[in-house]
Amino acid sequence: MNNHLKGVLYVGIGAASYGILATFVKFANNNGSGTAGLAFAQYFVGVVVLSLLSFLFSKKNVAPTDKKETRRNKLKLVAFGSFLGLTSSFYYLSIQYIPVSVGIILLMQTIWMGVVLEFFIKRHLVTQKKIIGAIAVIIGTLLAAKIFEVDAALNFKGLAFGLLAAICYTGTLYATSSIALELPLFTRSKYLILGGLMVTMLFWNVQIIYEFDWWVYLKWGAFLGFFGTILPPILFNKGIPVIGTGLGSIISALEIPISVMSAYIILQEEISSLQWLGILIILISVVYINLKPKAKK
């Protein structure tokens, strides 16, 4: 198997891992587990495992660098990791009020939010292709979120939490692709997840204590920690440098159909034809935005 195909598989498996999270969080909620305890357990397990991996593997190939700069970069990662914790918290709150299939569509608004962020950070005009793609994503979202379905009972609290999750997810993606890239993989992941754990504790505070349950930690904490905070960052960091950001973005959009299908199979959520049309439009938009034209000979 060549490196390019390996990179595609890494990113695809990472996207699938993220895609199933919300379904299993809602499944756990339906079986009596509180959201605060689930979110805390996910990040706690992530920090413990990544700290161990960082200790075992990251010391071997570390080049000598300025200690002050390294410390500053680690603090940056912790700070931006707070976006990751807020993403999970808002996302898990949103699916308490709306179906998982709608929640994942709202989370993926980061596709056009990333275009806006790029405009303000890089200070250059956004291409016509990205503007068209962003508008198409919004149209697809309106369809996928059942805006045009008369019998759909929309919960605006759930929609608001979903959009807040998308805003935070945009900040997370910026951090993972731009901050402290010179640090080893496990070290970067560890400090990002540590920031997520800290903000999760602040966000849910005493509710974590009220929902404290060792069984939740052992069962769901291990599952959510592995598929939410350990496996995807490692796979994305291994795969995206090989296949490139453009193709990586396209493949990571698999998170949408994986999430919708898992909700359909496990939670028996109904998916309408208009929703599937909206999802298709969003996926085509991701491909359109990220595919580069072939260079002329």
Instruction: Specify the pTM.
Output: 0.85
* Rounded-to-integer distance, Cα 199 and Cα 84, Å: 9
264-272 LR contacts (CB < 8 Å, sep 24+): 264/101, 266/23, 266/24, 266/27, 267/23, 267/26, 267/27, 267/30, 267/99, 267/100, 269/99, 269/100, 269/101, 271/101, 272/146, 272/149
At residue 148, the pLDDT reads 64
* Rounded-to-integer distance, Cα 189 and Cα 272, Å: 38
At residue 153, the pLDDT reads 63
At residue 246, the pLDDT reads 62
At residue 292, the pLDDT reads 65
User: What does pLDDT average to in each consecutive run of 10 residues of the chain (297 residues)?
Assistant: 79 87 92 90 92 78 61 86 91 91 86 79 72 84 72 78 91 75 82 92 90 81 90 80 70 84 89 86 82 58
* Rounded-to-integer distance, Cα 41 and Cα 219, Å: 10
Which of 10, 16, 25 has its CA nearest to residue 165? 25
